Amino acid sequence: MIKNILLFSLIFALGCSPYKRISNDDKSFTDTHVGRYEGVLNIYNADSIVNSLPMRLNLLPTDSANEYRWQIQYDTQTFRNYYLRLTNASTGEYEVDENNEITLTAHIHSRLLTSYFTVMQSTLLVTYDFRISDQITYSVHAYGKTPHQYTGQDNPEIDSVGLYPFIGYQEAVLKRID
């Protein structure tokens, strides 16, 4: 009986988060999160925080259907003026047009917008989490561009697995300011 009460209490407490979670409808994440956001970007290496700086993100409508202004600012830099466009509603595919001949592919699933790409000597996994109303959690996982080690190569019955060196991690919890 006490186990059941404790289990119910735990489930109830976990379900009563102080944050308002919103539906998992991927098609409406832009509608629920249009606005201006700001927070602190924490930059980590493998061991600890190496820097913290202000970050802003604006997700604003345009005159075109399925297109949004996607503006990002780090610290005191000028805003980077990008566009976020829905390119395939059935697969949840978007593109981030950086307005400089670079266009990144992004996918939405369970209200997580992710993009995976290589730049310079790093491979980045960038995620924008839209699961909590009035908040966007931004994260970047950075790894080396090429594997530094392989495992399983001595077993002819399996494919070997390449392991990529971890470079660092960035995260910002951005709160709506309007």
Percent of the chain with pLDDT over 70: 84
The domain locations on the chain are 19-176
Q: What is the pLDDT of residue 32?
A: 87
Q: Please say if the pLDDT value at position 17 is more than 60.
A: no
Average pLDDT, stretch 15-29? Answer: 48
Give the chain's mean pLDDT.
Answer: 87
* 170/153 Cα distance (integer angstroms): 32
Q: What is the dihedral angle through the alpha carbons of 25, 90, 119, 102, rounded to the nearest 10 degrees?
A: -110
CB atoms within 10 A of CB 73: 16
DSSP class of residue 27 equals: G
- Is the distance from CB of 124 to CB of 140 less than 8 angstroms? yes
Q: What is the pLDDT of residue 2?
A: 43
Write the pLDDT tens digit of every residue in 53-105. Answer: 999 999 999 999 899 999 999 999 999 999 999 999 889 999 999 999 999 99
**Three-class DSSP category at 75:** coil
CB atoms within 10 A of CB 94: 26
* 74/78 Cα distance (integer angstroms): 8
Write the pLDDT tens digit of every residue in 112-153. Answer: 999 999 999 999 999 999 999 999 999 999 999 999 999 999
Q: Does domain 19-176 have CATH number 2.40.128.20?
A: yes
